[in-house]
Structure 1
Amino acid sequence: MARRISIAQAPELAMESACAELSAGHPVAVPTETVYGLAADATNPAAITAIYETKGRPRFNPLICHMADLAMAERHAVFDPLSRKLAERFWPGPLTLVLPLKGDSAIHPLATAGLDTVGVRVPMGFASRLIAEFGKPLAAPSANPSGRVSPTSADHVAQDLGERISLILDGGHCGVGVESTIVKVEDGAIRLLRPGGIAAEEIEAATGLTVARPEKAGAAIEAPGMLASHYAPNAPIRLEASSIEPGEALLAFGTDRITGEGNALFVLNLSPTGDLAEAAANLFDYMKKADAAGATGIAVASIPDTGLGEAINDRLSRAAAPRGA
């Protein structure tokens, strides 16, 4: 079983232990503001292979490479002026930029799935300090089996991967709760590849440009989180629920009531006040709790498709997609 170290209680031990595991080519579960990541040396092919094998992740699905700061990112990726503006505005934070990979970058092709681009971001808090101490980028997809619900606590990681990894750094509950927003700048325009912790409206406000929304399912994989079926619990998800079926759990939102709500196996309200940030932070945790309770299905109330609601609905639609899609 994985060793677990509290960052708050033993920060020096957490840093020393993580650097030792990373140097040995072993993946480490690391908290970020979005979700817990399964981090490994992005320049080491054996370490990257260990990520794919631990998660059961398809090799064609690229990994985000996390940087300590903008200066480190510029050593590995080519920044156009608009991408640099976005980095300066939103880093550290939950924004990933897909950029051309520099020819002399040490990031291994396994991390980019052989693409000539790389997704980079600078996380908040301990993760960025760890990268700075380690001195190299960390490839870090979510610390869960591929396609399943992302972890937002150390308990989630222990339940999903505790038998497969050697170290979990416990940083408490993730504040954002959904993965980073992924964008790509092309010819001075911004294209949204995956909605996430930074709302597209925030990017539009910062740049004065309209953000083009994601391509339809089935588009070429340019970044993580673009598979049609993803973020899925064991129980099937039913969206825009207006009633409850026997054995279902209900993920409610706001104050609206649903027909037969009293017959639900149990009810968890993503945000009783209709706060989308609160709903995003609770989403994956509540999906996991519904699974653990043995629900035959998970009915989800309607979520507004604005602001962070766009990211929430993206995750829910992929969780509800036919498995294997």
Structure 2
Amino acid sequence: MQTKHFNNQNEDIKAAAELLRAGEVVAFPTETVYGLGADATNEEAVKKVFAAKGRPADNPLIMTVGDEEQIEPFVMVTNQARKLMADFWPGSLTMILPIKEGMVSMLVTGGLQTAAIRMPKNEPTRELIRQAGFPIVGPSANTSGKPSPTTAAHVKHDMAGKIAGILDDGPTQIGVESTVIDLTASVPTILRTGAVTEEELSRSLGQTVVDGTSKKALAADQTPKAPGMKYRHYAPDKDVLVFDPLDWFDLQEKLGPADAVMADEALLSELKNKEQPSWSLGESLEQASENLFAGLRYFDDDKTVDTIYVQSMPEIGLGKAYNNRLAKASGGRLFQGPASE
């Protein structure tokens, strides 16, 4: 299959929407990462997404909409959901809501009676969905388990020949996937951290929101309510180790020519070996999250690199989402320097 490249112009968006209506798969941009789109109401189209990604069938897919009206036929919109829509949509928040009986394919929900719904901020994608005329599924547009794509080039790397098209709107801005909140639990519960924080959600709802991301992994026979809860995610083929900035100088003593380091500008300015393979995470938490997956992908493709050392960030705001993705990418492996022992 030839994968067509579309720009964010009206005629290209129209052509991409026609492919979606024909039951094909088209990758699309959001402010977080690129997604893999197909008609959420067409089971044969949804099956193509699972096939392209190599995704387990019990891993639910997010339904992505162009406007709020598109969700009404499919899920029960609660008062809590309406509050969050008003405050965070369009944007990087996914809500888990009860489905209306018989209205959402079990392929999309992973067999559950709940569905994950999101309306991204990216306008070309919202126009694409509006022109298609139906919600689309929207998992990240990468091979299942690998680092998420933040550019159209990343999508092409993983999906060329597997999908019908890629809508290109340049690099994403946030760089880590949306926050997922479960509004079907007894207390609203965060199942995946992202740019919308626990504190912001609590203020919006006027009640405490629980962070459920630290719960133990699901058993083999359990179905996750949201992506990223059960299976290996965000991981390159290379070994990844997380280091604390306090261990920066000790780490440098152990770095060899086959080691790469990903760190912020302040640390890289103190890198002793200027020939050391390195990737800048920028000067802020926002830039670090934007650059994380791109750096992991870059070194994963570098045949001279065996191990990638990546800096952790303060556990505040977007740093929680950054550290969550990094922990999954590394399998929880840490560089143990004297300062962290």
TM-score, normalization by structure 1: 0.91
Distance 1:212 1:204 in 2: 9
CA contact (8 A) 2:14 2:131 kept: no
Q: Which residue of structure 1 lines up, in the alignment, with residue 286 of structure 2?
A: 277
Shift of 1:146: 0.2
Q: Which residue of structure 1 lines up, in the alignment, with residue 27 of structure 2?
A: 29
Q: Secondary structure at the match of 1:54?
A: helix
Shift of 1:197: 2.5
CA contact (8 A) 1:147 1:230 kept: yes
Match of 1:251 among 249, 262, 269: 262
Aligned amino acid, residue 289 of structure 1: Y
Match of 1:83 among 69, 81, 84: 81
Q: Secondary structure at the match of 2:243?
A: coil
Match of 1:100 among 94, 98, 101: 98
Q: Secondary structure at the match of 2:324?
A: helix
Aligned amino acid, residue 233 of structure 1: P
Shift of 1:119: 0.0
Distance 2:106 2:275 in 1: 47
Residues paired across the two proteins, number: 317
Q: Which residue of structure 1 lines up, in the alignment, with residue 117 of structure 2?
A: 120
Q: Which residue of structure 2 lines up, in the alignment, with residue 4 of structure 1?
A: 5
Q: Which residue of structure 1 lines up, in the alignment, with residue 174 of structure 2?
A: 176
Q: Which residue of structure 2 lines up, in the alignment, with residue 223 of structure 1?
A: 226
Distance 2:275 2:310 in 1: 12
Residues 1:192 and 1:15: Cα distance change in structure 2 (over 3 Å): same
Correspondence 1:46-85 to 2 at 5 A: 46-85=44-83
Aligned amino acid, residue 121 of structure 1: R
Aligned amino acid, residue 145 of structure 2: G
Q: Secondary structure at the match of 1:15?
A: helix
Q: Which residue of structure 2 lines up, in the alignment, with residue 14 of structure 1?
A: 12
Q: Secondary structure at the match of 1:239?
A: strand
Distance 2:56 2:199 in 1: 32
Distance 2:143 2:332 in 1: 17
Shift of 1:263: 7.1
Shift of 1:160: 1.1
CA contact (8 A) 1:248 1:264 kept: no
Q: Which residue of structure 1 lines up, in the alignment, with residue 277 of structure 2?
A: 266
Q: Secondary structure at the match of 1:136?
A: coil
Shift of 1:178: 0.9
Correspondence 1:126-141 to 2 at 5 A: 126-141=124-139
TM-score, normalization by structure 2: 0.87
Is 1:233 the counterpart of 2:206 in the alignment? Answer: no
- Bigger drift between 128-137 and 115-124 goes to 128-137
Shift of 1:260: 6.8
- Bigger drift between 242-251 and 52-61 goes to 242-251
Q: Secondary structure at the match of 2:117?
A: strand
CA contact (8 A) 1:82 1:188 kept: no
Q: Which residue of structure 2 lines up, in the alignment, with residue 307 of structure 1?
A: 317
Aligned amino acid, residue 215 of structure 2: K
Q: Secondary structure at the match of 1:251?
A: strand
Structure 1 vs Structure 2 CA RMSD:
2.1
* Cα displacement string for residues 218-256 of structure 1 (whole angstroms, at most 9, x for unaligned residues): 134111111352111121110125314321111113524
Aligned amino acid, residue 116 of structure 1: Q
Shift of 1:206: 2.5
Give ranges in structure 2 of 5+ residues lacking alignment: 334-341
Distance 2:112 2:12 in 1: 33
Give ranges in structure 1 of 5+ residues lacking alignment: none
Identity value in percent? 36
Greater Rg over alpha carbons, structure:
2
Q: Which residue of structure 1 lines up, in the alignment, with residue 336 of structure 2?
A: none
Is 1:317 the counterpart of 2:315 in the alignment? Answer: no
Distance 1:212 1:160 in 2: 35
Aligned amino acid, residue 85 of structure 1: K
CA contact (8 A) 1:250 1:261 kept: no
Q: Which residue of structure 1 lines up, in the alignment, with residue 337 of structure 2?
A: none
Distance 2:193 2:185 in 1: 21
Distance 1:174 1:33 in 2: 5
Shift of 1:132: 1.2
